[in-house]
Structure 1
Amino acid sequence: SASWGQSIPDDIFLNNVLPYANVNERRDNVRAQLREKFWPQISDCESISLAAARLNQKVFTQLSVKYSTQRRRADQGPAESMESGLASCTGLSILLIDACRACGIPARFVGTPMWSDNSGNHSWVEIWDDGWHFTGAAEPTGDDLDKGWFTGKASQQKSGDPRYGIFAVSFRRTPIPFPLAWSRRAATEWEVFAEDVTLRYADSSSRKKPGMVELQFKAVQTKGDRCVANLIVRDAQGRVVFRGQTHDESHDANDHLTASLKPGTYSVEWKTDTGTLSRAIQVTSENQLVTLQDSPDSQKSEPASAAGTPGASEPSELQDPPSSSPDSSQVLEHLEAFLESCEGEFERILEQPFASEPLSRSQAEKAIGLMNTALSDHLRKTRREEFESRIIKIGDLEMNFDLRTFGEAPAGGHSLYISMHGGGNAPARVNDRQWENQKRLYELEEGIYIAPRAPTNTWNLWHEAHIDGFFTRLIQDAMLFEGIDPNRVYITGYSAGGDGVFQLAPRMADQLAAAAMMAGHPNETRPEGLRNLPFTLHMGGEDSAYHRNEKAREWKTMLADLRAKDPGGYEHWVEIHEGKPHWMDGQDAEGVRWLAQFTRNMIPQRVVWIQDDVLHRRFYWLAVEDSSAKARSEVTASRAGNQVTIESCSLPEIRLLLRDDMVDLDQDVEVIRSGQRLYLGKVPRTVRAIAQTLIDRGDATAVFTATLPIQLPE
């Protein structure tokens, strides 16, 4: 019935009007409600563009929904946003798109997982009207489309880059997954598909002028909220070079007042409800954010300069050192308030504005304590039943386990031994008998001995993709309820369980202290990833099935060669029990006793990371984004003092995880590759970095306080 109804092509209608969902939001049945409310208000519009612009003006005011970082979650469904009255740019975009589609307007969800200046992610809406046009949800620009505060940022994005590209969601399947920046699950799990539309935003008119630096300003109240301030910038001669008004919390968290200035010294004067303040700034490089505190006592008159050299991967913030930063002084207060109200949704912390504020070393240590206590308390409440029942359930699978305790716990807590049974590719009753045998196979002098029952009965029952998650959960539960020492976790396994050790040891090495493989087969795995994990291998000399004995002798040679080339790593012991078949008459037990001497080192001097086909997002102090993880990729890096050397890397981008017991974070960190400097500058400690490395494993000893993305030149 719309005047434009017959002009919409079938493929656009099927992909951008008919679909009932956008990304991974809750599916809410609100289309009829939205059509009934808004169609009469736009039915007389003569074009799709005008109708969409009018909806953007009406939807949010009439439904009383506004932008806020205090919304329950980023990916809210439309009903959730209408009920709470609060939404992120993601939730606002979902609501506007659903309203458009309810009125026959083709609309789709668009976003970038990270702006090129690393200031955060953003989502917005595209409208089809004989071609695609954009608008910011709840950010109407009159009756026009193709206008918005983010056009300059969008023009700097990188086509083909899963982190810095711009992607439009497609209900129709495409080869590209939409990067769900707010979700820890991969887009392929949600089946959210996309088109790369970056090049359509690369408008040269939006790009900065040569020799100019884009500087962003935000004014904050004493309690940390952004506020409106009238701002004047003067150059060294006192001439006014810029005027503007900062944004309050009703604007997107990445929407800041932006000025283009030449490098140099400037004075900033700003006026709020509490008075007029001023400070000096030094403009040196790109990606600078000036934080203006609404408190005379907090301002410093000396110039503040940005950390990091031009071309560095991490954005810098123009403010005082972390120990005296006005925003930093209140981060712990904001963190405590968040933890009290988050109701177990700890991942929401990654989206909080205070999470990116720099911290001092002591503040970072306190933040770790606060977050670890809150997370542990929550998990003890929600996980107690699974641990006491000895059944861990993840998705449709479950893993039973048996637990025995040996000896008295030392001061740091018991060690943990995870012992995998044999069998595989057999009926459940056969594997059950193998499990019963494994429960009593080894005795310990000290420790918690856990024998899990594999969740499946397949030939590869101990190295399927789900095992990593089950073991991470098992280790975490053992920390919570048995108080085990996370730096003294060991794995062992016999026969098919030994197959699992071969596979899990290199891919989970940074969660383990040592590993013992008994009578298994390595299949396709390689030993290079064992650089920092002591590894013992025991095999019967006559165990010829599947050439297991031959493979064991090959690994003995390979491990010896690796040790000779890199004496600081590849601690190993390979014992071929000559004359013994598959069953070694208990001689392999000495391998389990060998494990106890080792303790995990989370920050080794050198890391060799070879991704398995089961992908991990981090390994010791190296990490990758989920979208960048690639099977069989290889990264080798080493560190000495405050210098990190990328020795080799098959990926275009990695992240370095840093903390104070490995580098001095109050000094510059240098990253080099093949003699080329990739980064030189300070790397701030942040709540975000702490949360990212605590939430996934719940292990406070494996937390890092700073993260540095590094682009690798081709």
Structure 2
Amino acid sequence: NRGWFVGAASKADNADWRHAIYATSWKKTGTRFPMVWDIEATQVNAFDVTNRYSGKGSGENVEDDVFVRVRDGGKRIEVQAELLDAKYEVLASRKTKAGRADLNDIAGFNCNPNTPLWLQLIQGEKVKQIPLRRAKAGEVTLDLQWADLPDASAIAGSQLAAVTAWLAAPSKVRPDTLPGDWAKGALSKADAKKALDLIWKDHRKRLAKERKTEDEARSIQLGDKKLRYLEKVFGDAPEGGRSLWISMHGGGGAPARVNDGQWKNQIKLYQPKEGIYVAPRAPTDTWNLWHQSHIDGLFDRMIENYVVTRGVNPNRVYLMGYSAGGDGVYQLAPRMADRWAAASMMAGHPNDAKPDNLRNLPFGLFMGGKDSAYNRNKVAEKWKGLLADLRKADPKGYEHMVRIYPEMGHWMKLKDAESLPWMAKFDRNPWPKKIIWRQANGITSRFYWLQIPEKHLAKGQRITAGVDGQSIAIEAENTPRLVVRLSDQLVDLDKPVTISVNGQEKFSGTVKRSAREIIKSLDQRADPASAATASVTLKL
């Protein structure tokens, strides 16, 4: 434990052999190794290494808190390690140890928290760098593989090389994003894919560690709201990752024991051929228990947890719900349409929900023809017509399946289970060529490849956006600012892009791919399939 060496051991004093630190040696050194069980013995030779740990006589700073080891494969190697400030001025220089040197003799530096620094490693004519920025005090040891670090000369011209060097810094000392100079190099389409893979691998590993407790507890707490859930696993995991089925229980507007019973019944209702089937317990017992604003964040978090800890494919996440859970599907399917591969509503009521945002989301509607409470059956017939009209006007969108069983009341005797194989046919497309985005209850800031800055969000905003080759046409209402998130899955970023809003050209030119954009996307949402590699911010 290095803390012992710079803590208790730093108080050692070789003025008295009883308070000194010795290392045994095969050499005849003239110094004996004191053995408390045989205090007179002289046969074991030693070196007095007290000063190495106390800092006396060696000039070493006992407050060093970042320690550096460099390896080539499994062997330690000697390099010149230099700590640089933000202007690349050398603050301190140390040599890393190799060969038979004491394993605890590690090159150390004192690094102030929240100070941008660089660690430069030199061996002959080879120079390598990683950025450092410690978020808080505390010791950290960097075990660096020489071969994994790109040359400093490559970093200036290649963002992929910069990403590799940035990720080489352990998360405890790594800046939140790429340093400015490192984000100026080129990033080709192929390099962008590699950069996304590298950044996602690191991001997923870190999140999986952070979210492990939530996953094991089957419980998520955000603010004062807690989401508990039950799960069952079906079938073998396919290549590309498992599917996830979120199934919302009925009840609502009832005592907790009633809703608890509905929850425990929901986990028994459906059996997908493959996937993790999850029945969450609504955080409240209100009538609108599944479409209050806190649900979006809790579901986002749950999806992320399953992606990073259980290997769920983010393009195969499905939503369903019965009765009050069906109310939730009517609301959450449109406003979170970019999360789902497909959604099915069973025996619910839409309240004020509208189907506009379902353009790219296959939507199933299942209702008993005799389910007349709150006019659920009549409203289902109305939605059947709305979906048919939307499909007719836009044949490439609004995929849907409607079943109204004439003989059934509120309980459909699991006839609605036919929705599962229908939904399983679909994968989410995170980069559709056309988007309809209407803000209603549960305002969201990001929808597919569009984003509205938080301070410009408002209920009633409506955006229609389409891509035709390299041209993006947007119609927007009540939206002062808009971010267009880009990827080579949407347009060819090697070619110029034109963006028009309400008939006026707002941007024309090439858009540079950016590793910073990838990092920002994954920080917003742990969803590599929807991560942008570039963006354009428009003032409308």
Alignment of 1:377-392 (within 5 A): 377-392=205-220
2:12: which partner in 1? none
Deviation larger for 393-402 or 424-433 = 393-402
One-letter code of the match for 2:514?
T
SS in 2 for 1:429: helix
Residue 573 of structure 1 corresponds to which residue in structure 2? 401
Shift of 1:695: 1.6
Q: Which residue of 2 is the match for residue 454 of structure 1?
A: 282
Structure 2: distance between partners of 1:626 and 1:356: 27
Offset from partner CA, 1:572-604 (integer Å, 9 cap, x none): 111111131111111111122311111101111
Partner SS for 1:710: strand
Choose which of 418, 421, 424 in structure 1 pairs with 2:246. 418
Distance 1:554 1:354 in 2: 56
Q: Secondary structure at the match of 1:501?
A: helix
Give the structure 2 partner of residue 270 of structure 1: none
Q: Counterpart in 2 of 1:148?
A: none
Is 1:483 paired with 2:322? no
CA displacement, residues 319-350 of structure 1 (integer Å, 9 cap, x when unaligned): xxxxxx9734256335633562433988x327
| Residue matched to 1:556 | 384
**After the TM superposition, which residues 296-307 of structure 1 pair with which residues of structure 2 at under 5 Å, given as runs?**
none
Q: Which amino acid in the other structure matches residue 331 of structure 2?
A: Q
Q: 1:425 to 1:567 in 2, by over 3 A?
A: same
Q: State the alpha-carbon separation in 2 of the partners of residues 458 and 380 from structure 1.
A: 32
Task: Say which of 147, 158, 169 aligns to 1:329.
Answer: 158
Would the alpha carbon gap of residues 372 and 396 (structure 1) be closer, same or farther in structure 2, given more than 3 Å must change?
same
Aligned ranges for residues 149-548 of structure 1 at < 5 Å? Answer: 327-329=156-158, 332-333=161-162, 336-337=165-166, 340-343=169-172, 348-349=176-177, 354-355=182-183, 358-548=186-376
1:670 to 479, 498, 505: 498
Deviation at 1:386, TM superposition (A): 1.3
The structural deviation recorded for 1:427 is 1.2
Deviations 1:413-439 (A, max 9, x none): 221110000011111111000001101
> How many angstroms apart in 2 are the aligned matches of 1:409 and 1:544?
41
Residue in 2 aligned with 1:680? 508
CA distance in 2, matches of 1:358, 1:625: 27
Aligned partners of 1:501 and 1:516 also within 8 Å: yes
Deviations 1:382-435 (A, max 9, x none): 111211121122222221111111111221222111000001111111100000
CA distance in 2, matches of 1:514, 1:85: 44
- Which whole-Å deviations, capped at 9, do the CAs of 1:178-206 have from their partners, x for residues lacking one? xxxxxxxxxxxxxxxxxxxxxxxxxxxxx
Give the alignment partner of residue 645 of structure 1, picking from 441, 451, 473: 473
- In structure 2, the CA distance between the partners of 1:570 and 1:352, relative to structure 1 (3 Å rule), is same
Structure 1 unmatched ranges of 5 or more: 1-66, 71-81, 89-220, 226-296, 299-324
What residue is the counterpart of 1:42 in the other structure? none
Q: Residues 587-643 of structure 1, C-alpha deviation per residue, up to 9 Å, x if partnerless?
A: 111122311111101111110011233222211111111111212211101001111
Question: Does the 8 A contact of 1:492 with 1:592 survive in 2?
Answer: no
Shift of the 577–375 alpha-carbon distance from structure 1 to 2, 3 Å rule, reads same
Under a length normalisation based on structure 1, what TM-score does the superposition of the two structures give? 0.54
| 1:69 and 1:351 in contact (8 A); partners too | no
Deviation at 1:530, TM superposition (A): 0.3
Give the superposition deviation at 1:464.
1.2
Write the distance in 1 (CA, Å) between the matches of 2:130 and 2:359: 45
- Residues matched between the structures, number: 408
Query: What is the RMSD of the two structures over their aligned residues, measured on CA atoms?
Result: 3.0
Larger Rg: 2
Instruction: Check the 8 A contact 1:349/1:355 in 2, yes or no.
Output: no
Distance (whole Å) between structure 2 residues aligned to residue 358 and residue 709 of structure 1 = 21
Distance 2:514 2:179 in 1: 12
On the 8 A contact 1:356/1:687 being kept in 2, the answer is no
**Alpha-carbon separation, structure 1, partners of 2:174 and 2:384:** 47
| CA–CA distance in structure 1, aligned partners of residues 174 and 378 of structure 2 | 50
The residue type equivalent to 1:689 in the other structure is: E
Q: Distance in 2 between matches of 1:678 and 1:607?
A: 19
Distance change in 2, residues 1:437/1:681 (3 Å) = same
CA distance in 2, matches of 1:344, 1:440: 47
> 1:474 Cα shift?
1.2
Identity %: 45
AA matched with 2:398: Y
Q: Confirm or deny: 8 A CA contact 2:390 2:398 kept in the other structure.
A: yes
Distance 1:470 1:401 in 2: 11
Q: Secondary structure at the match of 2:338?
A: helix
Deviations 1:538-559 (A, max 9, x none): 1111111111111111111111
Per-residue CA deviation, residues 64-94 of structure 1 (Å, 9 max, x unaligned), is: xxx9699xxxxxxxxxxx9747489xxxxxx
Looking at structure 1, the residues matched to 331 and 350 of structure 2 have their Cα atoms a distance apart, in angstroms, of: 7
Distance 1:550 1:487 in 2: 33
Distance 2:310 2:491 in 1: 32
2:461 equivalent in structure 1: 633
Match of 2:429 in 1: 601
Q: 1:521, CA displacement in angstroms?
A: 0.8
Deviation, structure 1 residue 481: 2.6
Change (3 A) 1:345 1:457: farther
Q: CA deviation at 1:653?
A: 1.9
SS in 2 for 1:487: strand
Whole-Å separation in 2 of the counterparts to 1:507 and 1:610: 8
Q: Are the aligned partners of 2:160 and 2:192 in contact in 1 as well (CA < 8 Å)?
A: no
Q: Which residue of 2 aligns with 1:254?
A: none
